[in-house]
């Protein structure tokens, strides 16, 4: 199996977006955890990170110009739901069972959901649909 240069570039942009959003997410976690529990900070940092993630991926990673915005946002939110369950599960296990730092747990959890997220976004959310662009 050979990887097409376009797929490699898209994957690299996705990783860059993921890294940027991860830094933003961790910074929000750190900031919020100064005033609330680590779990509350994790949960409250998630929505703004998701918004940043959608915008950067739609326009930069995938260069998606689809006009079916309602469907695309619905698909994206379904992917976010799936990957949130994965991410929170990993965070919970690492933080609660293994007693690692909440920031390390959040970072590892973020990396895990990135792999699943790319596959689903590539195939569904930001894919060019027949007759749509």
pTM of the model: 0.72
Q: What is the pLDDT of residue 133?
A: 47
How far apart are alpha carbons 58 and 14 in whole angstroms? 10
For 9, phi and psi rounded to 5 degrees? Answer: -65, -45
Nearest to 42 by CA among 101, 118, 121, 112: 101
Q: What is the pLDDT of residue 100?
A: 83
Give, for all 133 residues of the chain, the pLDDT tens digit.
566 888 889 989 999 998 899 899 999 999 999 999 999 998 999 899 988 999 899 999 998 888 887 888 899 999 989 998 999 999 999 988 988 888 889 888 988 888 888 989 988 898 866 444 4
Sequential DSSP letters for 59-93: IIIS----S-HHHHHHHHHHHHHHHHHHHHHHHHI
What is the total residue count of the chain?
A: 133
For 127, phi and psi rounded to 5 degrees? Answer: -75, 145
How far apart are alpha carbons 46 and 2 in whole angstroms? 35
How far apart are alpha carbons 129 and 1 in whole angstroms? 24
């Amino acid at each position: 199996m050979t990887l097409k240069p376009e797929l490699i570039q898209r994957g690299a942009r996705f990783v860059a977006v993921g890294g940027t959003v991860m830094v933003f997410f961790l910074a929000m976690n750190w900031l919020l955890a100064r005033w609330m529990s680590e779990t509350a900070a994790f949960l409250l940092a998630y929505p703004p990170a998701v918004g940043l993630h959608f915008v950067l991926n739609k326009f930069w990673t995938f260069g998606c110009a689809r006009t079916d915005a309602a469907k695309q946002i619905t698909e994206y939110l379904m992917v976010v739901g799936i990957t949130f369950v994965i991410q929170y599960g990993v965070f919970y296990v690492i933080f609660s069972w293994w007693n690692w730092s909440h920031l390390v747990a959040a970072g590892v959890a973020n990396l895990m959901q990135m792999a699943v997220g790319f596959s689903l976004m590539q195939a569904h959310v930001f894919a060019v649909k027949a007759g749509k662009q």
